Structure 1
Amino acid sequence: MLYSLDCEFNGFGGELISLALSGEAGELYLCRPHAELDALDLHPWVEENVLPLLDVNGARPVVLPQEAFGRAIQAFLKNDTAPCVIADWPEDLTHLMQCLILSPGQMVRIPDLTLKLMQVSSWPSDLEGAIQHNALWDARALRRALTLNRGEI
C-alpha cells in the first residue's frame, strides 16, 4: 500500500514537531505535546506558520511524546505486508526513520518498508479545506498530487 508522508519540523534540520501518513487504508497524524514543543528553541517562522496549524478542522493529531511515535507508526503499519512511503522532501524520510529507532541497535518491528522520494508539486492543492504547513493536510495534498500523476509512481 502507498502512503504519502509529511513532517513539520523546527526549521531546516530542526527537531520533529509533527508527522503524518496518508494512504488508502487510513491516516496517521502525530504531534508532540506542548510541553515538549515549549522546551524547543522554536524558529520564529515555525512559531508563526506551523504551531497555530497543528490542530485544525479536519486534522486533529494524536498527541504523543516523540519517543512514542515509533510504536504508533508500528501499530499503523502492522496489517500492511509491503508498505511504500512516498515523500517530496528528504528530511521527511529522515524524521520517519529516526522515529523507528528505539535505542542503540533496537528499532520497532515493521513490515518490509519501501521509501520513495519524488519531486512532486503538491501545492496549490484542489482539496477542499486544505491547509498548507499542517503535516496531515500536506500529506493529503501530496497523496492527491501523486494520484493525479499516477503514471510517475
Structure 2
Amino acid sequence: MLYCLDCEFNGFGGELISLALSGEAGELYLVRPQDELNAMDTHDWVAEHVLPLLSLPDALPTVLPLVRFGRAIQAFLASDPAPTVIADWPEDLMHLMQCLIIAPGQMVKVPELSLRLVQVSAYPSEIRHAVQHNALWDARALRHAVLG
C-alpha cells in the first residue's frame, strides 16, 4: 500500500519535531513531547509557523519520545507486506530512516519497504481546512496531490 510522508523539523538539517504517514490503510501522526521540544534551540520561523500547529482538531498527534518513533512506525506498518512510502522532500525520507534505527547496528523490524521521492507541489491544496506546516495535513495534501 501507499503512504505519503511528511516531517516537520527544526530548520534545514534540524532535529525531527513530528512525522506523519497518510495512506490507504490509515494514518500515523507522531509528535515529540513538550520537554524534548523545549530542549531544542528552536529556530524563530519554526517557533512561529510549526510549533503552534502540532495539535489541531483534525490532526491530533500521538505524543512519544523520539526514541519510540521507530516502534510506532513498526507497529503501523506491520500488517502491510510491502509498503511504499512517498515523500516530496529528501529530508523527510532521511528522518523516517533514522527513526527505524534503534541502537548501533539495530533497527526495528519492518516489512520490505519501498521509498519514492516525487517532485510535486502539495499546496495549494483542494482539501478543505488543510493546514500547511502540520505534518499530518502536509502528508494528506501530498497524498491528494499524488493520488488524487
Fold similarity call, TM over 0.5? yes
2: CA distance between counterparts of 1:73 and 1:105?
Answer: 18
Paired residue secondary structure (1:124): coil
Partner of residue 90, structure 1: 90
Matched to 1:89, the amino acid is W
Quote the offset at 1:129 in angstroms.
1.1
Q: Write out per-residue CA displacement over residues 66-95 of structure 1, whole angstroms, 9 at most, x where no aligned residue.
A: 000000000000000000000000000000
Task: Give me the whole-angstrom Cα distance separating, in 2, the residues matched to 1:4 and 1:88.
Answer: 9
Give the number of aligned pairs.
Answer: 148
Paired residue secondary structure (1:37): helix
Residues 1:124 and 2:124 are matched in the alignment? yes
Q: Separation in 1 of the partners of 2:48 and 2:121?
A: 23
Equivalents in 2 of 1:120, 1:29: separation in Å?
22
Give the superposition deviation at 1:28: 0.0
Aligned to 2:102: 102
- Which TM-score applies when normalising by structure 2? 0.99
Q: Percent identity?
A: 71
Deviations 1:30-67 (A, max 9, x none): 00000000000000000000000000120000000000
CA distance in 2, matches of 1:109, 1:147: 27
TM-superposed deviation, 1:147: 1.3
Tell me which stretches of 4 or more aligned residues in structure 1 moved more than 4 Å. none
Q: Please tell me whether residue 77 in structure 1 is matched to residue 103 in structure 2.
A: no
- Structure-1 residue corresponding to 2:40: 40
Render the CA deviation track for 1:106-136: whole Å, top value 9, x for unaligned.
0000000000000011100011110000000
The match for 2:27 is 27
Letter in 2 for 1:16: L
Q: 1:139 maps to which residue?
A: 139
Counterparts of 2:125 and 2:56 in 1: how far apart (Å)? 17
Quick one: which amino acid aligns to residue 114 of structure 1? S
User: Partner of 2:57 in structure 1?
Assistant: 57
CA distance in 2, matches of 1:127, 1:83: 24
Provide the rounded CA distance (Å) in 2 between the counterparts of 1:136 and 1:112: 23
Instruction: Supply the distance in 1 between the matched residues of 2:19 and 2:61 (Cα, whole angstroms).
Output: 9
* Separation in structure 2 between the aligned mates of residue 119 and residue 144 of structure 1, nearest angstrom: 14
Unaligned regions of 5+ residues in structure 1, if any?
149-153
State the superposition RMSD in angstroms.
0.4
In structure 2, distance between residues paired with 1:66 and 1:7 = 13
Tell me the equivalent position of 1:151.
none
